[in-house]
């Protein structure tokens, strides 16, 4: 249990450090179409973050069928680990941070907002691989080091993964959620999002044909005393 807690704590702070490094050079990660959810009875709407300059020298942005403050979206900026949305006067009316592969935050009027990528944006930037003890992060059940591309979240969604060991797919982000089903070693599956949770990086397998969404853990303590990946980011 102590070993597992050490793994999870290191992963959590690695994710926080990676977020804090976001700056203006990372703007291309966010360019594209987003679904905006504010809890409005009108339902979600769409916003577009553009790479070209908009009003006031900021990056351009627009909204479609949005109500409230999002209806006046005109620009956006990225820096210091956060995204800001600006209205036509140049005032920042929303500040957002990453939550897995979504952006969450608050509007100036106090309302909550969540942006979900709709153009394949992959913003869950993988942190530098942490090292436990003296070894590398291995492929679970082996003594072979995992490739760097397989240690963090997939670079783009939807993605394909392949289990390298028996993996519990759970019904929620909480690692103590009931097991929905199990993946066998070598089994391929789809991934539509990953989340940096208190339990480390967890990825969602979208449900289909009556099977619900399920969540799987990326890293798990290995037999060598370090950490091992439970699945690769490709089939």
Are residues 182 and 107 located together in one domain of the fold? no
Tokens representing residue 134 in the block: 């003296």
* Same domain, residue pair 106 and 196: no
* One domain, residues 175 and 93: no
pTM equals: 0.47
Q: Is residue 35 part of a domain?
A: yes
Q: Residue 130: its pLDDT value, please?
A: 45
In whole angstroms, what separates CA 187 from the centre of its chain? 23
At residue 84, φ and ψ (nearest 5 deg) are -120, 140
Q: Are residues 97 and 132 in the same domain?
A: no
Give the H or E element holding residue 20. helix 2-20
Q: How many domains does the chain have?
A: 2
Per-residue pLDDT, 6:
45
Strands 227-229 and 138-139: parallel
Query: What's the mean per-residue pLDDT of the chain?
Result: 80
What is each CA distance from 126 to 87, 178, 188, in whole angstroms? Answer: 31, 27, 21
Q: Does residue 107 share a domain with residue 160?
A: no
Same domain, yes or no: 138 and 94? no
Asked which of 84, 117, 150 is the last residue of a domain, the reply is 117
CA–CA gap between residue 63 and residue 35 (Å, rounded): 10
**Residue 113 falls inside a structural domain:** yes
With respect to residue 67, please indicate whether it lies within any of the assigned structural domains.
yes
Q: In angstroms, how far is the first alpha carbon of the chain from the final one?
A: 31
Whether residues 152 and 78 fall in one domain: no
How many angstroms separate the CA atoms of 45 and 90, rounded? Answer: 22
Residues 111 and 203 in one domain: no
Report pLDDT digits (tens) over 93-133.
998 887 777 888 888 888 888 899 888 777 655 444 444 44
pLDDT confidence of residue 73: 94
Averaged over 154-180, what is the pLDDT?
90
Q: Does 228 lie in the same domain as 130?
A: yes
Of 95, 117, 139, the residue that ends a domain is 117
| Domain at 28, CATH number | 2.40.128.10
Q: Answer with the one of 117, 138, 159 that is the final residue of a domain.
A: 117
Asked whether residue 15 is assigned to any structural domain, the reply reads: no
Spatial distance between the Cα atoms of 8 and 14, rounded to a whole number of angstroms: 10
Give the pLDDT score at 13. Answer: 39
């Amino acid at each position: 249990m102590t070993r597992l807690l050490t793994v999870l704590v290191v992963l959590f702070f690695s994710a926080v450090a990676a977020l804090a490094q976001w700056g203006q050079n990372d703007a291309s990660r966010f360019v594209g179409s987003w679904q905006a959810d504010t809890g409005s009875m009108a339902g979600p709407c769409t916003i577009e973050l553009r790479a070209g300059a908009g009003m006031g020298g900021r990056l351009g942005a627009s909204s479609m069928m949005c109500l409230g403050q999002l209806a006046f979206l005109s620009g956006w900026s990225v820096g210091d680990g956060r995204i800001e949305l600006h209205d036509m006067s140049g005032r920042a009316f929303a500040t957002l941070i990453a939550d897995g592969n979504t952006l969450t935050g608050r509007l100036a009027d106090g309302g909550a907002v969540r942006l979900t990528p709709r153009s394949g944006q992959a913003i869950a930037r993988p942190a530098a691989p942490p090292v436990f003890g003296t070894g590398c992060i291995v492929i679970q059940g082996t003594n072979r080091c995992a490739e760097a591309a397989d240690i963090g979240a997939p670079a783009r969604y939807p993605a394909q993964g392949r289990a390298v060991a028996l993996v519990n797919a759970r019904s929620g982000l909480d690692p103590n959620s009931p097991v929905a089903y199990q993946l066998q070693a070598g089994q391929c599956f789809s991934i539509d999002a990953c989340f940096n949770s208190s339990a480390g990086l967890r990825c969602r397998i979208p449900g289909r044909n009556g099977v619900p969404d399920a969540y799987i853990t990326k890293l798990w303590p290995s037999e060598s005393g370090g950490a091992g990946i439970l699945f690769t980011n490709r089939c």
